[in-house]
């Protein structure tokens, strides 16, 4: 399968099975926006939940915030986004199309019509809107271009409310908005995206140790998502290419079907943000080390992860086709923790009330035994079709209730068949054993 073919197949599966839909589709869409559907919501929540476990809740030194998307514009002046959050824009003199100069092989020739392109001009990617009824400049506010801004402005609030000692971090998952010149590659480059970010505050001399620890946490996250190790690469960003706030950045790149591209970033932001906010606001962010009696502005290590790029990496890694039972099938080898649905329960025949009743009972037992796990129900079409549907959304287990469950063969009474997604192999197990098997897969 060629890589472009693979991408088309992933996009098509996402639409067909309710993972992702083009934004505002009935009106022809809106470039750079996608909507998560029923399966996509569950997948995204799992990606975020595993991040929360590793980056926030499984630790004692990280606190959460959920800050407003609209922020005082002074935040973005201080962070440098108003002045420098720009990509180089070129416009074709002939067809008037707009491009990002740094994404063109030849930034002087239009890739669509070969017309002459303008000189690159910086194009600020922040989305502006107006707050309140005034129409003048003073009412201009921006949709946040990174969730980090909402963390820095709450540094003092967190200090004053939970009194942490350094090192500690503040974590946030939320939407960010970037008016990308050329949104592309499905959910890779969006105008409305979600980020999972930690700002980790350290004493200046401790930054390197913290950087290495977060680097390892990011690899642990990749392993938890079952991203193949050989597709993940670290790129030490050259000094000339560093963002304005960074002294060191590692890009975690991933081999997407359309090439090796940035998945996540790990940056050493120094004291750039806290110092900049201190200069422009009335807040003091100086920290007094009680042992050394030293006063300083904390430095920051920032693991920054895009939710949508992570979802895409997970889907692209999991997509498979094979021959099973004489048919070509498509399936997703999602890690059980990541899969939207953990198991599907089904009566062999839907027009046999005794099978349906027993299957409902089995489903209730599994739901009670596995709180929080989505246990689906499907009695539509024949059993083979049901398995195929679950394969396509990556459900690791299918549980079928048949006449043997009801005691037709007494030795199998109260057992069900458990089918494995990847091999298609089936075995007979008691319901508690099925619950145990699923629980073990989710551990
Ligand atoms: N706070 C630092 C920051 O925002 P960034 O490298 O600009 O750094 C962090 O973005 C992550 O957000 C990226 O590694 C990527 O996962 C995601 N991201 C950035 N721009 C994106 C876009 N237009 N569409 C989807 N995800 C994006």
- What was the pLDDT predicted at 1? 66
Determine the average pLDDT of the residues in 339-360: 97
Ligand 1 contacts CB of residue 419 (under 6 A): no
Ligand 1 pocket member 297 (CB < 6 A): no
Q: Contact, 225 vs 47, CB < 8 A?
A: yes
Confirm if 400 and 417 have CB atoms less than 8 A apart: yes
Residues 276, 80 contacting (CB under 8 angstroms): yes
Query: What SS3 class is residue 173?
Result: strand
Decide: 297 and 278 in contact? Cβ < 8 Å: yes
Fold of 3-71+146-315: BirA Bifunctional Protein; domain 2 (3.30.930)
Task: State which H helix or E strand residue 74 sits in.
Answer: helix 74-79
Q: Whose CA is nearest to atom 14 of ligand 1?
A: 264
Q: Which two tokens stand for residue 15?
A: 């639409």
Ligand 1 site, residue 434, Cβ cutoff 6 A: no
Pocket test residue of 222, 309, 314 for ligand 1, highest count of atoms within 8 A of CB: 309
CA 307 to ligand 1: nearest atom: 16
Number of Cα atoms under 13 Å in the Cβ half of residue 196: 24
The two structure tokens encoding residue 298: 């904390």
Residues 6+ apart with CB under 8 A from 114: none
Backbone angles phi, psi at 207, to 5 degrees: -65, -35
Q: What is the pLDDT of residue 136?
A: 79
Q: Is residue 139 very low, low, confident or very high in pLDDT (cuts 50, 70, 90)?
A: confident
> Nearest C-alpha to atom 18 of ligand 1 is from which residue?
306
11: part of which helix (H) or strand (E)? helix 3-16
Global pTM value: 0.96
Residue 133's pLDDT band (boundaries 50, 70, 90)? confident
Cα(14)–Cα(37) distance, integer angstroms: 9
Mean pLDDT of 260-282: 96
Ligand 1 neighbourhood includes 340 CB (under 6 angstroms): no
DSSP 184: B
Nearest 5°: phi and psi at 380? Answer: -90, 130
pLDDT exceeds 90 at position 2: no
The more confident residue out of 324 and 260 is: 260
Candidate from 81, 153, 187, 304 with most ligand 1 atoms within 8 A of CB, to mutate: 304
User: Which of 3.40.50.800, 1.10.150.250, 3.40.1400.10, 3.30.70.1350 would CATH assign to domain 341-442?
Assistant: 3.40.50.800
Cβ proximity of 317 and 335 under 8 Å: no
Whether 3-71+146-315 shares its CATH topology with 341-442 is answered no
Please tell me if the CB atom of residue 146 comes closer than 6 angstroms to any atom of ligand 1: yes
List pLDDT tens digits, range 304-340. Answer: 999 999 999 999 999 999 998 888 899 999 999 999 9
Calculate how far, in angstroms, residue 119's C-alpha sits from the geometric centre of ligand 1: 26
Residue 265, ligand 1, Cβ within 6 A: yes
Q: What does the domain layout of the chain look like in residue ranges?
A: 3-71+146-315, 341-442
For ligand 1, the distance from its centroid to the CA atom of residue 306, given in whole angstroms, is 5
Closest residue by Cα to atom 27, ligand 1, is 306
140 CA → ligand 1 middle, Å: 24
Ligand 1 pocket member 189 (CB < 6 A): yes
> Cβ atoms within 10 A of the Cβ of 34, count?
24
Q: Is the CB of 87 under 6 A from ligand 1?
A: no
Look at residue 253 and tell me whether its pLDDT is greater than 80. yes
Give the Å distance between the CA of 305 and the centre of ligand 1.
7
Cα–ligand 1 centroid distance for 130 (angstroms) = 25
Q: Residue 197 CA: which ligand 1 atom is closest?
A: 1
State yes or no: pLDDT of 135 exceeds 80.
no
């Amino acid at each position: 399968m060629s890589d472009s073919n693979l991408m088309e197949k992933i996009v098509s599966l996402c639409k067909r099975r309710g993972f992702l839909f083009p934004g505002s589709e009935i009106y022809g869409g809106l470039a750079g926006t996608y909507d998560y559907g029923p399966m996509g919501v569950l997948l995204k929540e799992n990606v975020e939940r595993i991040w929360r476990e590793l980056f926030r809740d499984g630790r004692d030194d990280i606190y959460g915030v959920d800050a407003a998307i609209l922020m005082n514009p002074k935040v973005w002046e201080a962070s440098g986004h108003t002045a420098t959050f720009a990509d180089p824009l070129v416009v074709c003199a002939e067809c008037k199309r707009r491009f990002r100069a740094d994404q063109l092989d030849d930034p002087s020739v239009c890739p669509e019509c070969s017309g002459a392109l303008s000189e690159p001009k910086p194009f600020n990617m922040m989305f502006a809107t107006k707050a309140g009824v005034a129409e003048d400049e003073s009412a201009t506010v921006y949709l946040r271009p990174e969730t980090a801004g909402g963390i820095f402005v709450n540094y003092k609030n967190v200090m004053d409310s939970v009194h942490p000692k350094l090192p500690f971090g503040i974590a946030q998952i939320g939407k960010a908005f970037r008016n990308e010149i050329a949104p592309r590659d499905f959910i890779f480059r969006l105008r409305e995206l979600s980020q999972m970010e930690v700002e980790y505050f350290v004493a200046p001399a401790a930054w390197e140790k913290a950087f290495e620890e977060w680097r390892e946490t990011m690899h642990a996250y990749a392993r938890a998502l079952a991203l193949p190790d050989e597709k993940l690469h670290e790129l030490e960003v050259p000094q000339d290419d560093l963002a304005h706030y960074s002294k060191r950045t590692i890009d975690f790149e991933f081999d997407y079907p359309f090439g090796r591209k940035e998945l996540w970033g790990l940056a050493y932001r120094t004291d750039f943000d806290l110092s900049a906010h201190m200069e422009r606001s009335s807040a003091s962010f100086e920290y007094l080390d009680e042992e050394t009696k030293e006063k300083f502005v904390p430095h920051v290590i920032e693991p920054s992860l895009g939710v949508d790029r992570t979802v895409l990496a997970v889907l692209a890694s999991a997509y498979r086709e094979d021959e099973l039972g004489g048919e070509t099938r498509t399936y997703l080898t999602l890690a059980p923790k990541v899969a939207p649905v953990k198991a599907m329960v089904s009566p062999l025949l839907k027009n046999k009330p005794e099978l349906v009743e027993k299957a409902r009972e089995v489903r209730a037992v599994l739901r009670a035994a596995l709180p929080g796990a989505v246990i689906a129900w499907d009695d539509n079409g024949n059993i083979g079709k049901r398995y195929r549907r679950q394969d396509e959304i990556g459900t690791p287990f299918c549980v079928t209730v048949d006449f043997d469950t009801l005691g037709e063969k007494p030795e199998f009474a109260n057992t069900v068949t458990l089918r494995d997604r990847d091999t298609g192999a089936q075995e007979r197990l008691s319901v508690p054993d099925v619950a145990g098997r699923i629980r073990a897969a989710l551990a």
